[in-house]
Structure 1
Amino acid sequence: MFNEEIKLQEPLRLGMVGGGRGSQIGYSHRNAAQRDGLFQLTAGAFDLNPKRCKEFGSNIGIDPERCYDNYQDLFKLEAQRSDGIQAVSIATPNSTHYEICKAALLSGLHVICEKPITFTTEEAKELKEIAINHNRAIGVMYGYTGYQMIHQAKEMVQRGDLGKIRVVNMQFAHGFNNEELEKDNPSLKWRVTPEVSGPTFVIGDIGTHAFYLCEMITDLKLKRLSCMRQSFIENRAPLEDNAHVMMEFHGGAVGTLWASAVNSGSMHQQKIRIVGEKASIEWWDEQPNQLRYEVQGEPARILERGMDYLYQTIEAIASNRIGGGHPEGYFESWSNLYHRFALVFNAINNDDIETANSIWYPDVNAGINGVKLCEKCVESSNNQSSWVNF
């Protein structure tokens, strides 16, 4: 079970860019960061409006003098303090991720960034090189990978419980944008504005979540893909609000990905089903404490979080915060990731590279592949859904 006694000599001092008043993502980052006492939020540039930034920061307990007008001042002035920030969470629109990540790394900060981390693979690889050269780490917020049952699924695949993997069906298909709500909602408008959102809408926003679950659980490497995109709300073009992707992996496995914001009536419908030669598993983020396990010729089983019959790996145990039967959810998953981010950042700060390398977390390579998925899907769909190499 989760070990609450794991503490650092002192919490890592954290800054935040974006995520101000009314931001669900900002609140999620702050909640997860401070849950286990491994981070302490001490500064931020929460809002483009300096007055709102100071007011909001003060209301959540930040010294007004450390609520900065912009991220440039945040990084520069914090670097001049003996108690300056050591890491930063970036919770801003997509178009700003690259420049803020780059500035943070060059300022000697570890980074936790929303995805996609950049618009292009080249930019993402550049960030990786900067991070390596400055001995810093980049964590990417694939927040659904902190659930215990995701780590159980990964272990079942690795141990051969399913046999050789044949098919992976991925989907994240909600219905919350089945109408043109962004017309009267500026906070939604940026997501369907190419200059801010990037080359995709639902593929980058939610499809990359489902794809990373596949990568993490199966360790399959994507060989090529074919993508079909639609803009059912015509004003969203050229960005898609629905997409279907066919995938072929190295080794012979195949997969499909359905990403949609117009699946009317659906809440999330983020599911992943992994089919092997002997058995299949299926996980649904609306019921994250259960993993469906189906062996051919046997009754289907529902594996429950927190039970002794699960594989007791370090990752799974560390992700289990309370006994079985009690529901865990979104905030626990995020907190599990922030817990790992803190341990990695602290190990690097202490030149303990062996420990840093031994801890699993969604790293810059996960970010690079998410960006590449968006690029390749656009390339394919713009060429009559032709197959493109990944």
Structure 2
Amino acid sequence: MLDAKSSAALTDLAPMEAKCPIHADADHPKVPPARTGILLANLGTPDNYDYWSMRRYLNEFLSDRRVIDYSPWIWQPLLQLIILTKRPFSSGAAYKSIWNHEAGESPLMTITKDQTAKIKEAMHDRYGDQVMVDFCMRYGNPSTKSKVRAMREAGCQRILFFPLYPHYAGATSATANDEFFRSLTHEKWQPAVRTVPAYFDNPKYIDALAQSIERTYAEMDSKPDILVCSYHGVPKRYLMEGDPYHCQCQKTTRLLKERLGWADTEIKTTFQSRFGPEEWLKPYTVEEVARLAEEGKKKIAVCAPAFSADCIETLEEINEEIKESFEEAGGEEFTYIPCLNDDDAHIEALSSVIDDNLAGWLSRG
């Protein structure tokens, strides 16, 4: 959780002192000193778990053609008349079960704020007042458009846009970038921009994952029979159409296995969160954990390397639905290893990625 100092730093978006250019007329608009913005982006979250908050959020999310690419003539009537009539109730109940009631927000929002505050501190240690760090959400609030505008008003003439997805997918990184570039169309003075590519094989990211697993295993009486790396799924069709997500997930698991010094039999890649009738990337986590239990692997651990922060898909789907599938099939001990969240090794990995992508724009102090 943020302390008072970090919280104040995160919300301090006021521009540095703006001044008229030296040789300009007295009535010339004041211009703030030039800075570089670092805008972190995550998936998004509903404002609350009530019906209408959930409906607004789900409508925005499920209307994104990057997420659901069926013809709108077919999809929108189904979405508006059937799915959005029923799903806000079930999704709202799921969010309520994990909601941060003390802060009045979802865990994803809380964690993203914590991550941003720590990255802001790290960037200011490196670059001082040359940088401004903030976050936005692809769906819901705070919107990408509002944060791009805030950075421009604060004097950011360059913006590094960082989708917090280790692995590239059209339905995650690409749609975040789409929204960022759409936001720039509303700016009279557009900043120079860069987008951060996927970091699925970054050594510091892999090491942070490995450390989190080693810490968890060290606290257990005996080692689990297998570690399941559960990645968010996408339709198999996306792979066949050229999306690199599947291959990047497989490489992360391989690099993690090598870093841990494990055998192939000790770690497995699966995919969760299947939606709709078509085939998705396999094996499906919910089915695979049941198969492992029936095979005699009664003690398993599950981690979620594709998620930079715990959210509904990890706290509710993995820790409840997938756990239940494992136990109903005869599994005895299920351990969920939390996402990297604001762990110091994770913050260092993300900061290192930012440093690499600021090269040529800024030099460390």
| TM-score w.r.t. length of structure 1 | 0.27
Report which of the two has the higher share of strand.
1
Report which of the two has the higher share of helix.
2
Structure of greater Rg: 2
| TM-score w.r.t. length of structure 2 | 0.29
